[in-house]
Amino acid sequence: MNNILIANSLIYIFTLISFIKINKTINIGILVLFFYVLGTIFSYLFFCHPNYPSDYSDITIEPFIYLYGTFLLFLYPILTIREDKIEKIERPNSNKLFYLVYFIIFVSVFRLFSFISPTIEVLSGGINFAERKDEIMEGIRIVQLPFPLSTISYFSALLSNISILIFFHLLAFHKNRRFLIILLGICAFLPPALNAIIASSRAVVFIFFGNILFSFMLYKKFIVTKILKILKIFGIIFLFLLMLFVIAVTISRFGDTQSISLDYWIFKYFGESLINFNGILFGKVENLMYGDRNFSFFRNILGLNNISGNDLISLRETALAITGIPSKIFYTFIGQLSIDIGIWGVLLIALIICFWGKKFYNHHNSFPFSKIIIMQLHFRLCFEGYFFFPFTMQNGNLTIITYILIYLYFKFDFGSSHKYAHNFGHG
């Protein structure tokens, strides 16, 4: 079976090299593909580890063929975007952009306020990462603000990743608004960092890093050299701290496990998604959930939701009872979506997104800012989707709605402010 894992890794590597040669550059899509290449390597290391459970998962070739083809269909529109060929970014109405920035700063203050006490508690050593993660999963340590502060703070969470994108846009095309950029930077970067500490979550850090990488890759050619050098220095520092955090959380949560080495848990975390999809999920779903697993908020609006309770624990218990598939493990966004609509339903969605995306992103050497919003949504689906479907349940469903509303917000109002931003002479 390890030969199957080797072959799976080689085909991803071959695909990565092929697209690098075709594009003659490293673009956002290639970075996503590179991460999946790393995932295939980790899956091999996980499978071959001495602590790998003998009865954990059987590996066959058909699931990997399906997963590879379906994933490439989802990713292909982004793979064909050449950031180095984008000479112009169509700038949105400045007033509308700054109104949104002010709103993000306003709502983020309340979210930061809710993070102060639990962050101090964690950093003071009052509780370790493992205990905090368990208590959060049991609903014990979820910070609740009183209404309407909780609602205001919720907007900040929905706009969190979009605020990172807008931060880089301001750096590129409104660099003279220094105070506003600093405020937005604090509101865009500090809440996710604190949230990762509070939640003892490696996934939060991974999502945070991914969206920074996406925004940087898209805007780096439009940012002046001096600022770019500063960003690269901070990026190296951030990457180092990220690795330390992941190791610290892993040690805290699994370091005391007897007879199992730490490297096993690292290999498992980054490698289990592909193995779980192959041996645990593919062809083994007893009954489909028809949207209850991932789109419960939309089904609630239509009065169709069959899940009792609106929390993650209730959802996981119901999903296990219906599908026979454990819900506390990773099996990629393709696997998670297939629980709702089956593998053929996911393949159909992948085909639609592939053909739609290719047409949607076809703007030659210019790109509207509004479509960058949708591109980030698409990127997140594929990048974060290595582990899970990132837009599940109420929070995820509302995130999809937020992206669509922000896209429409910028798309239909350019007016007299309709301009092109070049990679030179920005102001």
323 falls within a domain: no
CA distances from 133 to 117, 201, 270 (A): 16, 8, 18
364 falls within a domain: no
Q: How many independent structural domains does the chain possess?
A: 1
Residue-level pLDDT at 126: 52
373 falls within a domain: no
Whole-angstrom distance, CA of residue 92 vs CA of residue 100: 11
Whole-angstrom distance, CA of residue 213 vs CA of residue 222: 15
100 falls within a domain: yes
111 falls within a domain: yes
Residue-level pLDDT at 255: 58
96 falls within a domain: yes
Helix (H, G, I), strand (E, B) or coil at 269: helix
Asked if 307 contacts 360 with a C-beta cutoff of 8 angstroms, the reply is: no
**Neighbour order of strands in the sheet with 419-422:** 366-368, 88-91, 419-422
Residues of the chain with pLDDT under 70: 123, 125-149, 253-259, 305-311, 363-364, 413-427
190 falls within a domain: yes
Residue-level pLDDT at 143: 52
Which residue range forms the structural domain that includes residue 192? Answer: 89-256+390-415
326 falls within a domain: no
Residue-level pLDDT at 265: 85
The pTM is what?
Answer: 0.90
Cα of 358 vs its chain's centroid, Å: 21
